[in-house]
Structure 1
Amino acid sequence: MEAYKETSIYKGALRILQTLQAAHYEAYIVGGAVRDIQMGRIPHDYDIVTSAMPEVVIDVLRTEGFITTNVVGASFGVVVVTEGDDTYEVATYRSEQYGEDSHRPVAVQFPSTFLEDVQRRDFTINGLALTESGEVRDEVGGLRDIVARRLCTIGSSQERFQEDALRMFRLCRFAGQLGFSIDPATWAGIEPNLYRVEGLSLERVRIEIEKMLLSEYVDLALDALVRSHLNEQCCQQTIEGQSRRIPILPELTHLVDLPQAPEHHVHDGWCHTLAVVKRVAPNLVLRWAALLHDVGKGMEGVRGFHNGRITDRNHDRVGATMARNILTRLGYAKEFVNLVVWLVERHMRFHFYVSNGSADLRKWLQKESHENLFRETKDLVEAVDYLKTLGVADVLGGGTKDAEPTVQYGTRMMDMAKQMPVHTKDLCYDRTLPNLVAPYTKEVMETLLQRVQAGDIPNTPEALHKAGMAKYERVKKKEYHA
């Protein structure tokens, strides 16, 4: 038996179907869950469509012990149903009419038919339905496109994207999540509808971009985003009733076909960026840092030539400034922005230290430990771990060097970071020490922190007690003579 049939969430969905059908209404599992089942994946959520009106859905399901929302989505006829720990959306068949809004229909008609409901959906692979008996109902060629690993809109792509501009971003996202190619006729519907992006909210666009960044085939998703010019559009953000235009990611466009020094790179700026992003783990900090690590390359004042060779001096600093502007306008929290910016700004220094064995790594880490970005040692260790990962991916993405020296150096840097206290609370002192050196506790502890960071004394209770008491005696003596 297929593994998905053993999950509680599927069994709950099946019981909803059976309950509605017993009351003489049509009901199907529909959309992404059916697509995933056909691809051998186990779905984590299930959507259901039915011929029953929302009020009837509530009445029928509650009679059988299901928990449903009292408030029905008036615009869309959706009832949220709970069975145990699982939640489902049960929607009435509907057809839609669209107006000026770039995402939401202005009118919804129901009851409708199953075929009309399917034809309003975005892509053929999301237009499949599953019956109670496990049979697939395919009215739009979704099974064919799953086999071909191809993304196609249901009907005219120009009409589908005109109706809902967010579908263009979903197209890029599905390419990244599924590794599917985009049908040329579907691709052709993007350009005439780029103007519709301006009506989308920043929140919805950012959610789609984050899903792209975390996808398995992230390079396909981002490449589609940029080559479609969706990244060059603006969306909108409304704050206290005031709407403003927010550029999405226009800073990426100049990387496409941007020449790079062949002695360090086999790809242009954009293909190198994609190679680096793909090589880091699906973590938002890492993926954003990888996407923006070379965004400063090719910019005015950065791109140059020396002895006939391409240079991009200070692209790390310029890129860090650009990264801060990008992530801030996209609404990320300050702490998140600071960490990504730190990685972008430090990635070339990391490569410098890898290439120069005589450089003082401890001194660099000591300096970094003083940055306000890090509150304690574990924060520094996490950042260094990210930097190592980014550095290795950057070397591999260049395609001209062996990454093993970078791996080894990064490991050494990690080990040293673990021993580098950032705050006095990272010191391994005997807890009686602060009382013993009072009233000079703050001065003594800060001195101990600096000495451990510099490698003058080990971070052990015995060494800290001895050095702390010696500092205490000096401070007390100095104050006495003063």
Structure 2
Amino acid sequence: MDGVYAVALPQAAAQLIGVLNAAGHAAYAVGGCVRDSLLGRTPKDWDICTDALPEQVMAAFQAYRVLPTGLKHGTVTVFAEGEGYEITTFRKEAGYSDHRHPDAVAFVSALREDLARRDFTMNAMAYHPQEGLKDYFGGVADLRCGTIRCVGQPAWRFEEDALRMMRALRFAAVYGFTIEAETARAIHACRRLLSCVAPERLRAELDALLCGAAVEKVLLAFPDVIFTLIPELAMAQGFNQHNRYHAYDVWTHTVKSVAAAPQDITLRLTMLLHDVGKPLCFTRDASGVGHFYGHPAAGAQLARGIFARLRYDRATAMQVERLVEQHCRELPPRDKPMRRALNRLGEVGVRQLLAVKRADIKAQAPAVTEERLLTLCQVERCLDEVLAQGACFTLKDLAVSGKDLLELGMQPGPDVGKTLKALLEDVLDGRLENEYEALLETVKKATE
């Protein structure tokens, strides 16, 4: 079927469908699990829909562990073989005053009516092990073509639940699909409704979108949607850098750097925001060359506000802010500056910084990238050599400890810590070898 495969229904899901069928009810696997299975992907979970009312579902599964997780919306969770399966009654929805949740839910008896309320055709399919696939809205055809298309009128779907717009972008980035023209137009037109969505939900979709293999295509096609979430980036679009190192405006450079980074959320968030401060720091010299002095620090400050608004966890926020602030810092391929960098950032941090620099370079003017990437390879070799030498770059790496200094006769107190830090500075600068006897001898001479 041109890349669309058969549904591989787990035994436990088939068993639950069978129990409902035996009790006289219709039941099907539905939604994203069917979509992913048809694409040959392993679904994260399997949802089941049924014409049975919640109390009928609970009655049918008296021999199972059952949790009434969402009775108001017709959802019961049934456990089989250690996994929880959400079983939801066929329903239709009405009124979406908050552009996110239905004001009213009514249970219905027809599968088609239940599928008609769903967001995209590829998510509006159901499957039964004996009856086969139920596809009333062309989901298989759209999967075959790699198309994301709303069920019904796109604007209505997005006015009902504004988060669907970010879901469309996320699916496009993750699956490499194209958003159908009418659906795309509605996303552009309805993007302001994203302000109705909880920041945490927007953040989750943004993260998944950024880590998608087709992120470049999506960010270039829907910058206005991204700017609705992060207005600080809007000035980057069309901003000419007037610099021979850059062949693109700030936004296009940003997008290409995101795509060039490893599919890790910390690195991709860093690339999304690494130049957010540039438009605020732009100057041109007498020759007309553009400069962005201070933009890393300005970008880190802007990133702090963005992360607070989108409710990012503090660990991720601090990590990205640090990388944004450090991304232009020179890192020569020599032992001393490498030890200093390891002291400042740690091995993980230095490797992240090098990944950021590589992505940044790959998104610059093609005429300068080769030489800069070769230099970066030298820096990486230097890092590996310093680490292979077992170089000292933190207090815990010192050959002596506070206990050694106390045994030498130093009095307990802040002087012990100050002495250890002074020794580390000497080791980092190469004035001292990290050897037990040499370090203690230095301390002895200083205290005589």
Q: Return the TM-score normalized by structure 1.
A: 0.83
Partner Cα distance (1:276, 1:107) in 2: 45
CA contact (8 A) 1:31 1:129 kept: yes
1:316 aligns with 2:291: no
Give 2:318's aligned amino acid. Answer: N
* Residue in structure 1 matched with residue 351 of structure 2 by the alignment: 385
Give 1:442's aligned amino acid. Answer: G
Deviation of 1:443 after TM superposition, in Å, equals: 4.3
- For the structure 1 residues 367 and 181, does the alpha-carbon distance in structure 2 shift closer, same or farther, using more than 3 Å as the test? closer
Structural mapping, 1:24-63, within 5 Å? 24-63=24-63
Q: Secondary structure at the match of 2:73?
A: coil
Partner Cα distance (1:212, 1:467) in 2: 52
1:286 aligns with 2:267: yes
Structure 1 residues 196-233: Cα deviation after superposition (integer angstroms, max 9, x where no partner): 2222111111111111122222223433542xx23343
* Residue in structure 2 matched with residue 67 of structure 1 by the alignment: 65
* Residue in structure 2 matched with residue 12 of structure 1 by the alignment: 12
Structural mapping, 1:195-214, within 5 Å? 195-214=192-211
Deviation of 1:389 after TM superposition, in Å, equals: 0.6
Structure 1 residues 16-53: Cα deviation after superposition (integer angstroms, max 9, x where no partner): 11111121211111111111122122222111111111
Q: Secondary structure at the match of 2:363?
A: helix
CA contact (8 A) 1:77 1:91 kept: yes
Give 2:355's aligned amino acid. Answer: T
CA contact (8 A) 1:33 1:46 kept: yes
Instruction: Give ranges in structure 1 of 5+ residues lacking alignment.
Output: 234-247, 375-379, 478-482
CA contact (8 A) 1:18 1:132 kept: no
- For the structure 1 residues 473 and 409, does the alpha-carbon distance in structure 2 shift closer, same or farther, using more than 3 Å as the test? closer
- For the structure 1 residues 321 and 72, does the alpha-carbon distance in structure 2 shift closer, same or farther, using more than 3 Å as the test? closer
Structure 1 residues 348-391: Cα deviation after superposition (integer angstroms, max 9, x where no partner): 223xx45xx7xx7624753773x5xx5xxxxx111100011111
Instruction: Give ranges in structure 2 of 5+ residues lacking alignment.
Output: none
- For the structure 1 residues 364 and 126, does the alpha-carbon distance in structure 2 shift closer, same or farther, using more than 3 Å as the test? same
Give 2:302's aligned amino acid. Answer: M
Q: Secondary structure at the match of 1:88?
A: strand
Give 2:304's aligned amino acid. Answer: R
The one of 169, 190, 194 aligned to 2:191: 194
Deviates more, 1:423-432 or 1:141-150: 423-432
Give 1:316's aligned amino acid. Answer: P
- For the structure 1 residues 88 and 225, does the alpha-carbon distance in structure 2 shift closer, same or farther, using more than 3 Å as the test? farther
Partner Cα distance (1:361, 1:470) in 2: 23
Partner Cα distance (1:397, 1:232) in 2: 20
* Residue in structure 2 matched with residue 439 of structure 1 by the alignment: 410
Structural mapping, 1:382-461, within 5 Å? 382-398=348-364, 399-400=366-367, 401-402=369-370, 403-413=373-383, 415-416=385-386, 421=392, 423-429=394-400, 433-440=404-411, 441-459=416-434
The one of 93, 96, 103 aligned to 1:96: 93
The one of 177, 182, 194 aligned to 1:180: 177
Deviates more, 1:186-195 or 1:151-160: 186-195
CA contact (8 A) 1:72 1:78 kept: yes
1:332 aligns with 2:312: yes
Deviation of 1:432 after TM superposition, in Å, equals: 6.3
* Residue in structure 2 matched with residue 273 of structure 1 by the alignment: 254
* Residue in structure 2 matched with residue 87 of structure 1 by the alignment: 84
User: Which one has more relative contact order, counting CA pairs under 8 Å at least 6 apart?
Assistant: 2
- For the structure 1 residues 225 and 304, does the alpha-carbon distance in structure 2 shift closer, same or farther, using more than 3 Å as the test? same
CA contact (8 A) 1:285 1:340 kept: yes
Give 1:68's aligned amino acid. Answer: V
Partner Cα distance (2:163, 2:157) in 1: 10
Structure 1 residues 121-161: Cα deviation after superposition (integer angstroms, max 9, x where no partner): 00001111111137221001111111111110000001000
Partner Cα distance (1:420, 1:330) in 2: 40
Partner Cα distance (1:345, 1:72) in 2: 45
1:163 aligns with 2:151: no
Q: Secondary structure at the match of 1:208?
A: helix
Deviation of 1:188 after TM superposition, in Å, equals: 1.8
* Residue in structure 2 matched with residue 480 of structure 1 by the alignment: none
Partner Cα distance (2:141, 2:27) in 1: 23
CA contact (8 A) 1:302 1:314 kept: no
Give 2:182's aligned amino acid. Answer: A
Partner Cα distance (1:75, 1:224) in 2: 39
Partner Cα distance (1:291, 1:254) in 2: 13
CA contact (8 A) 2:236 2:249 kept: yes
CA contact (8 A) 2:119 2:164 kept: yes
Partner Cα distance (1:179, 1:136) in 2: 24
Query: How many correspondences in the alignment?
Result: 435
1:348 aligns with 2:328: yes
Q: Secondary structure at the match of 2:284?
A: strand
Deviation of 1:114 after TM superposition, in Å, equals: 0.6
Q: Secondary structure at the match of 1:267?
A: coil
Give 2:225's aligned amino acid. Answer: L
The one of 294, 318, 336 aligned to 1:362: 336
1:222 aligns with 2:196: no
Give 1:38's aligned amino acid. Answer: L
Deviates more, 1:449-458 or 1:409-418: 409-418
* Residue in structure 1 matched with residue 125 of structure 2 by the alignment: 128
1:295 aligns with 2:295: no
Deviation of 1:320 after TM superposition, in Å, equals: 2.1
CA contact (8 A) 2:142 2:148 kept: yes
Q: Secondary structure at the match of 1:81?
A: strand
Partner Cα distance (1:414, 1:101) in 2: 54
Partner Cα distance (2:269, 2:381) in 1: 22
Partner Cα distance (1:99, 1:443) in 2: 63
CA contact (8 A) 2:402 2:420 kept: no
1:467 aligns with 2:439: yes
